[in-house]
Amino acid sequence: MKISIITAVYNGASTITATLRSVAEQDYASVEHIVVDGASTDETVQRVQAHGTHVAQLISEPDSGVYDAFNKGLRRATGDVIAFLNCGDTYESSGVLSRIAREFADPKCDAVFADLLIVDARDCSRVVRRYRSKRFAPKLLAYGVMPAHPTLFLRNSVYRSVGEYDRRFRIAGDYELCLRAFALPSLHYRYIPKILVRMLSGGLSNRGWRSSWQITREMRRACAANGVHTNFVKLLSRLPLKLLEMI
Q: How confident is the model at residue 204 (pLDDT cuts 50, 70, 90)?
A: low
Alpha helices in the chain (DSSP H): 16-24, 44-51, 66-76, 96-104, 156-162, 173-181, 209-225, 232-236, 238-245
Residue 212 clears pLDDT 90, i.e. is over it: no
Q: Give the separation between CA 45 and CA 37, rounded to whole angstroms.
A: 8
CA 11 to chain centre: 19
Indicate the domain borders of the chain.
Answer: 3-245
C-alpha span between 123 and 13 (Å, rounded): 17
Q: pLDDT tens, 167-201? A: 999 999 999 999 999 999 999 999 999 999 999 99
Task: Please give the pLDDT value at position 133.
Answer: 96
To which CATH superfamily is domain 3-245 assigned?
Spore Coat Polysaccharide Biosynthesis Protein SpsA; Chain A (3.90.550.10)
Radius of gyration of the chain from its Cα atoms, rounded to whole angstroms:
17
The pLDDT tens digits for 29-44 are 999 999 999 999 999 9
How many CB atoms sit inside 10 A of residue 213's CB?
A: 12
